[in-house]
Amino acid sequence: MRVDSLILRTAVRYLFPLLLTFAVFVFLRGHNDPGGGFVAGLVAAAAYGLYSIAYGAEQARRVLGVETRLLIGIGLAIALLSGLAGLTSGLPFMSGLWIDLPLPSPLNKIGTPLLFDLGVFLTVLGVTLTIIFALEEVE
Amino acid sequence: MNILILLPIAIPLATGIATLLAYRSRMIQRWLNVIGSTALLAAAIVLLTEVAGQDILVTQVGNWPAPFGIILAVDLFSAIMLLLTGIIALAVSVFSLFTIDAAREQFGYHQLYHFLLMGVSGTFVTGDLFNLYVWFEVLLISSFVLLALGGERAQMEGAIKYVTLNLMASAIFLAALGLLYGIFGTLNMADLGRIIAQGLSPQERGPVTALAMLFMAAFGIKAAMFPLFFWLPDSYHTPPVAVSALFSGLLTKVGVYALVRVFTLIFIHDTGFTHTLLLFLAGLTMITGVLGAVAQYDMRRLLSFHIISQIGYLLMGLGLFSAASLASTIFFTVHVSIAKTALFLVSGALYHRYGTYDLKKLGGAYHHMPGLAVLFLLAALALAGLPPLSGFFAKLGLVRAGLAQGHYLIVAVALGVSLLTLFSMMKIWNEAFWKDRPDHDQRISSLRGEGRNWTTLLISVASLSLLTAIMGLGASPAFELALGAGAQLMNPDLYIQAVWKGAP
Amino acid sequence: MNEWLLALPFFILLLAIPLALWMRQQGLTTAQMGWLLALFPLASLVMMGYAVLSAQGQPVAVSIPWAPAFDISFSLYLDGLSSLFALLILGIGALIVIYAGGYLGSDPNIGRFYAWLFLFMFAMLGVVLADNLLMLFIFWELTSLSSFLLIGYYHHEAGSRSAALQALLVTGGGGLAMLAGVVLLGQIGGTFEASALLVQGKALQHHPLFVPVLALILLGAFTKSAQFPFHFWLPNAMAAPTPVSAYLHSATMVKAGVYLLARLNPILGGHPIWLYAVGGVGAATMLVASVLAYSQTDLKRLLAYSTVAALGTLTLLIGLGSPLALKAAATFLLAHALYKGALFLVAGAVDHETGTRHVPRLGGLLRAMPLTATAAGLAALSMAGLPPLFGFIAKELVYESGLEAGPIWMAVALFMGLSTVFVAGMTGVAPFWAKPSEKLPHSPHEAPSTMWSGPLLLASVGLLTGLLPAGAAERIIGPAASSMAGQTIPVKLVLWHGITPAFLLSVVTVVVGTLLFAYRTSLRLTLQRLSWPWGPAYLYERSLDGLNALARFQTRLLQSGALRYYLLTIVLSVVVTVGWVLLRSGVPWVLPLSVNDVLFYEAALAVLILGATLAAILSPFRLGAIAALGVVGAGIALIYLMFGAPDLAITQFAIEALTVILFVLAFYHLPRFKNLSSPSVRRSDAVVALLTGSLMTLLVLVAVDVEISPVVSRFFAENALTKAYGRNVVNVILVDFRSLDTLGEITVLGVAGIGVYALLKFRKGRTKAESAAPSLARRSAQPAQAASAAPALTPSVPLPTDDPAEASKGGEAS
Amino acid sequence: MEVVLAIVVGGLYAAGIYMLLRRSLVKLLIGLAFLSHAANLLIFTAARLNRAAPPVIAPGEQALTAPYADPLPQALILTAIVISFGVTAFALALAYRTYRSVGSDDLDEMKGTEG
């Protein structure tokens, strides 16, 4: 499925970091404005997906640095752990724990729900890339 | 106590994640599978002892009270179903260690196994209808992959039907959920039960019954109720036998659980219509299922059709709608899951030895493997309802409830179908065990049935078969427990109050 | 003390099961096993006998609680009736155990044989001792099961297997009816304890459910005791080893039905239906079995038909129900067990020694087998009803009961008496005294002691009780008849009681019966010419065929393999039920339909979506359809955006784009769309689809018509920021309020990812399946490109695998 | 407006069912996609439509000020969309694999499992 095009490669070289940054932005604003871990995960996946189209799946895997299925596992693990965190304070599963940070909004409140959203982000990224790479490698 | 309710979901999830992270090592995955299943069983036992002594356990996920957050609630019924899940999970996971090939293990068998268990347990503990939908999807997608894993043509063909019809069920379920929310503005099951119990306006009554029909269809497809069961016989015989066994033990029972839950807690405003319909469908499910089985010569297909006919019995208890009949349904569910899983494992053991599931080609097993023969006989006769095995008491409970309530026709059907069940079980016995092997020059297959693997493989079969015998000899305490569960179900206020009170 | 003597035999008999298997392992000879194992029933018999004697005529009872949730207790009750049966079960049982040691001399599986036999003995003892009717039923079914396993003992032979199955189905089916009857009886009587029900006497007969209860219980009893029209399984059950035939299918199990009738006579008896149903069926059985007996030539089948006739006699006598008839029943029961048991064992010995059971071939065995012949002679004389044997006394009583009841009943009894004489001659006389017609397969010798001791003992007891009937009358028959009647019946038996009408009829019977025996060959040939094939056995076969045909038909009909029919059925089921409920409640007619508030661009969007939908359906190109699907998704996203759901809109857009890409990637290589269905199919599908669509529209309108409670959504609106620290309420719900949903959701995603990966990349030793089944006809369509489709992971070396799916597939493809 | 969307929902269901009943595997999948669209839109409509502001708490406010669109159905639909995406992706792969092993996208050729 790799497309051999110099223009595409050049474009991707600039788009790739841009998309990743955008993903982080979407992720962070999610709790207060439309956005969130899911969409951010898709955006990040789009970045790697484009990269793989330009440079091939194998190269994209190398840039990602983690086996995609492992990413799914890590994402789920983070989500589960964020849920279990509440238990340590004697609260039910998935209870939010929050810490105030001396930072500007939206970074001033850090809590387990955000950690959970990070889990969502990683899982979505992992799944989408697993599918994209697999499709590319089969074709 | 909070942690306790959580365990049935958290343990399989954690196990699934751990096996996913250990995707490189089959050995670690195998160990994790068995450890996770054992832990699940242990958790279920603790939960049951906890629930048996006292009230319904409730936790508010995220510390948000009902009906706003999601509630997990475990009553006796749920706890019994969880125990069943643990038993089946452990038995099949041990069995699969010696029957699942390396390729399937590499491609995620063990993860899928536990994600499936997570979905199953989730359905048993959740107190929220939408959350129920989510757990359904978790177990469905896991079952999809388990079914298709291997990519054989028969598997693909079976999976296409399985996937399509189950997605159809999901679509119906989702629509019913949306409409229910549109009418009542809530999806908490206890809340819905409370609102409906307070009385519906004439304007609401018809639509709510219509929604009940949608739920009946959605769960009926999953439970393999007549006339919605088509996906089952076309798919259950295609994957490796461990997967068939797992599915037969747990998946349709999830549908039955959901039916029982919503038709005892929520939709009890028009039982004259809804539950009579259930009774009617129960009879047809029994008959069509068992006739399907009679026509089969492939052992696993035969067993698959029996799943359907047994579902009819479970629905019969719900349709009769009394504490005793519901108790019988619960007892029956546990019995039939264990017996049926054991039978599937027997078919696997036969396959392991002779390389076929075809009854016409099988034979001589009584001679070669008398131990397995006895184990088969225990499970098969239990399924046919012969005393003093578990199935007899399950049937007896239903028959007594049916006769006491004057529903003679369904009792007659239930008894007649149990004769046909006996007939087709003895067909397996005659063909696979008593008859001589028809084809002697066929290398007595591979006779792979030697050594350590064989013994370990038999352990799973033996533990389940003996369990049906134990459940028969110890029927009384088991049924007392089920009676407690049935009484709780017939008094939905208990559930509603427990959820309302929230976590203690 | 007595109570425990009642329960202990059960444990003793159970203990014999593992012990039998163990003994076999230890290498004992079968004869040794027989002698040793016979001690178990003997010990049990002694215990029971002691219990009876020390109870001084009072019933002994013990109750051990077992399953109170089902009202089942292990309660035992030993009175005259059960003592008589227990005596037969344990006494004859001990002889059979010894006999089997000789009969199955070289059988390597004798351990299993004894295991099943003791299981049966345990169950049978339970049937006659159980006081709790549900417990009785449990034992009852266990006897059916062990009978099944024993009939099919020679399981290599198809005949044995089908006979075993037939017996199981017939008795099992009757058993199920009986279960319903017993449960109903317990429900109307308020208890399942027979002793407690007996106290209520005939009071239950006024209950409206009495007739169904009676019918159901009779069905159980009749099938078990091989009454017409269920008699056919018993002759076929002769496929069992002879000790089994003698024990189960003559002396004990088949009498369980008679036992049940006798036991329940005080409650159920005396009703007019009882007389005609029980008496009538008994009479019919006697007639049918007598006629059928004349055309038999096989020793065991002859005995089987005469057993059926005897069971009919017992049933008839219980149906008549007078004190005399019950006395006759108890006497005949004992006499029959003695002579028929002996004759069966003789038949086995003859078969064992000569290699045939074909009566016309047999003869002249007197010299070679004198002891066996003596036993046979005594038993045959008893069976023919000649003095001074016990059979004579029994038959006189039967005739007296017939005379008492009326000429028709008497005629039936007489008819049966003739065939009894005939069968006695065929089985007890002909093989020993007649001339042999041809050379026998083996040259006969006297049977081993294991095999002649039993029949000789039984036959001698028949002689002894005939000469000195008083003891048996007082100790055994009197109490048994009293239990049957529910009141004390004094029994005095004497061998000679003068020349009575019954005696004269006896003389006639013997004379005519002997004549029939003398002309046996022409009688048989005549009857065989007249034989009528459409009996109940034929019906049984046809109904099995019919069942199989029906099953295949139904499965083809319902489980056609075609997905679209499955879908159609499901969709129509939903539409019909939901639609009917809505119509019934009259909801659709009162809906307010207002479109005043629709804005122009909203309407346009709706039209766009519907248009794209239509385009997706009609598009002849795959990519066109997929693109149209994308437009639909995008349109829905716009709706979300318009109605205050930006998060939904973004997600919907993103996913729609991704889905379209996946669709294209996956289906890029597929062939063009074809219209595979005919226009008429498409039209009818369109009707179904539109019906479903309309129903859903209706449901939405119904739902929005109701006032909705805003409580739940208001909670989120108020608490999202203050308690969950987020302004985007939807996101807060997703990651906090309902985070469990999201956890499940990402699990689904994760599994889907694993699944897609596995499906696309899974490759393994396909070659293995092919090499194992080279003839496997793979469809030619199996594309060559499939193999090349995923070169990355195809292993060149076949992996070892235990994968069942492959071979199951192989089995199906062929 | 509910009336109009109810009709759209009905149309989507009809399209989904019609496509499911075709013999082509691809059409089957398109049908499933229609069904999931239909169900999502049904939830959205049944929970009442609101042209008002999205359920995002404005800066300076402590809670949503009425009128606002009900956030709960939105969250439910979001979950449903994601789930159906996962399932659809899997179904696509399944269909792909099926096509590869059966060699046709005609469902009537996939009756190997019939009774």
Residue appearing with tokens 């440079």: A55
**What digits encode the pLDDT tens for the residues C747-758?**
999 999 999 999
At B438 the pLDDT is 81
C-alpha to C-alpha distance for B363 and B368, rounded to whole angstroms: 9
- C-alpha B72/C-alpha B82 separation (Å) is 13
| Statement: residue B329 has pLDDT above 80 | yes
Q: How many CB atoms within 10 Å of residue C719?
A: 18
- pLDDT, tens digit, 9 for 90 and up, residues B77-92: 999 999 999 999 999 9
**What pLDDT score was predicted for residue C797?**
35
pLDDT above 70 for C800: no
CA dist., res. B388 & res. B381, Å (int): 9
Within 8 A by CB and 6+ apart from C519, the residues are none
Give the mean pLDDT of chain C: 87
On the question of pLDDT at B359 being above 70, the answer is yes
Q: Considering its fold, how many domains does chain B have in total? A: 1
- Among A32, A33, A131, the residue with its CB nearest the CB of D89 is A131
Instruction: Report the pLDDT averaged over residues B18-37.
Output: 93
The whole-number pLDDT of residue A139 equals 60
Given this model, what pLDDT does residue B330 score?
97
Per CB-CB distance under 8 Å, the chain B contacts of A74 are 21
Q: Would the CB atoms of C169 and B131 count as touching at under 8 Å?
A: no
Q: What is the pLDDT of residues C618-667, one digit of tens each?
A: 988 888 899 999 999 999 999 999 998 999 999 999 999 989 888 888 87
Rounded Cα–Cα distance for residues C421 and C509 (Å)? 8
Contact A34 D78 (CB under 8 A): no
pLDDT at position C809 over 50: no
User: Tell me, what's the pLDDT at C558?
Assistant: 86
Q: If pLDDT is split at 50, 70 and 90, which confidence band does C775 have?
A: very low
- The reported pLDDT for the residue numbered C813 is 34
Would you list the DSSP string of C630-672?
A: HHHHHHHHHHHHHTT-HHHHHHHHHHHHHHHHHHHHHHTTSPP
Task: Work out how many CB contacts closer than 8 A connect C with D.
Answer: 321
> Out of B51-55, B192-196, C589-593, D46-50, which region has the weakest mean confidence (pLDDT)?
C589-593
Residue C758 vs residues A62, B93, C60, D93: alpha-carbon distances, Å = 21, 20, 70, 9
Can you read off the two tokens belonging to residue C38? 């016979």
pLDDT at B213 over 70: yes
Which of helix, strand or coil describes residue B24? coil
CB contact under 8 A, C790 and A123: no
Looking up tokens 């001033």 gives A108
Residue C803 is predicted with a pLDDT of 42
Give pTM, 2 decimals.
Answer: 0.93
| pLDDT > 70 fraction of chain C, expressed in percent and rounded | 92
Q: Any chain A CB within 8 A of the CB of C727? A: yes
C526 DSSP β-pair partners:
none
A31 to chain D: closest CA residue = D56
DSSP string, C366-402: HHH-HHHHHHHHHHHHHHHT-TTSHHHHHHHHHHHHH
Please calculate the CA angle B206-B210-B214 and round it to the nearest 5 degrees: 165
In this structure, the number of other CB atoms found within 10 A of the CB of residue C46 comes to: 13
List beta partners, residue A111: A98
Q: What is the mean pLDDT of residues C567-594?
A: 85
Contact B117, B479 (CB under 8 A): no
Least confident of A81-85, B464-468, C535-539: C535-539
pLDDT one-digit tens code per residue, C316-334: 999 999 999 999 999 999 9
- CA–CA gap between residue C492 and residue B86 (Å, rounded): 66
d(CA C375, CA C751): 78
CA angle (D105, D109, D113) in 5-degree steps: 120
Amino acid B1: pLDDT? 52
Q: Is the per-residue pLDDT at C670 higher than 80?
A: no
Average pLDDT taken over every residue of chain B: 91
**Is the CB of residue B411 less than 8 Å from the CB of residue B399?**
yes
| Confidence label for B458 from pLDDT (cuts 50, 70 and 90) | confident
C564 and chain D: CB distance < 8 Å anywhere? Answer: yes
Lowest-confidence segment of B428-442, C403-417, C565-579 by average pLDDT = B428-442
Task: Answer whether residue C794 shows pLDDT above 80.
Answer: no
- Cβ within 8 Å of C, B 217-236: 217, 221, 227-228, 230-231, 233-234
Residue C784 has pLDDT above 50, yes or no: no
Is A56 in CB contact (< 8 Å) with chain C?
no
C806 pLDDT band, cuts 50/70/90, is very low
* Banded model confidence at residue C532, pLDDT cuts 50, 70, 90: confident
**Alpha-carbon gap, residue D109 to D107, rounded angstroms:** 5
Q: What is the mean pLDDT of residues B336-355?
A: 92
D 40-69: CB under 8 A from A: 54, 56
Q: Where are the domains of chain A?
A: 6-75+114-137
- What is the average pLDDT across B320-346? 96
D17: pLDDT strictly greater than 90: yes
pLDDT score recorded for residue C814: 30
Q: Looking at the complex, does the CB of residue B356 fall below 8 Å from at least one CB of chain C?
A: yes
Q: How is chain D split into domains, by residue range?
A: 2-51+65-111
The answer to whether B111 touches B26, Cβ cutoff 8 Å, is: no
Where do runs of H (alpha helix) occur along C385-519?
390-405, 407-424, 430-433, 449-467, 469-472, 478-485, 501-518
* Domain hosting residue B332, numbered range: 3-500
- In chain C, which residues have their Cβ closer than 8 Å to the Cβ of D107? 562-564
pLDDT band of residue A2 (cuts 50, 70, 90) is low
pLDDT digits (tens, 9 = 90+) for A99-119: 877 776 666 778 888 899 999
The hierarchical CATH code for the domain D2-51+65-111 is 1.10.287.3510
Q: B144-190 pLDDT, tens per residue?
A: 999 999 888 888 889 999 999 999 999 999 999 999 999 999 999 99
Q: In B362-499, at which residue ranges do the beta strands (DSSP E only) sit?
A: none
Between positions 644 and 703 of C, the ones with CB within 8 A of A are 646-647, 650-651, 654-655, 658, 662, 665-666
Alpha-helical (H) ranges within B385-445 are: 390-404, 408-428
Cis peptide before C798 (omega within 30 of 0): no
* Residue C769 pLDDT: 39
pLDDT above 80: residue B444: no
**Residue C791, C-beta contacts closer than 8 angstroms, at least 6 positions apart:** none
Q: Under a CB-based contact definition with an 8 Å cutoff, are residues B130 and D77 in contact?
A: no
Among B140, B141, B330, the strongest candidate for a mutation testing the C interface, having the largest count of C CBs within 10 A, is: B141
The pLDDT > 90 percentage for chain B reads 78
Where does the pLDDT of residue B442 fall: very low under 50, low under 70, confident under 90, or very high at 90 and above? low
User: Please, are residues C552 and B296 in contact by the beta-carbon 8 Å criterion?
Assistant: no
pLDDT band at C672 (very low <50, low <70, confident <90, very high): low
- Looking at chain B, the number of H-run helices and the number of E-run strands are 21, 2
Chain A to chain B, count of Cβ pairs less than 8 Å apart? Answer: 51
The pLDDT of residue C787 is: 38
ipTM: 0.95
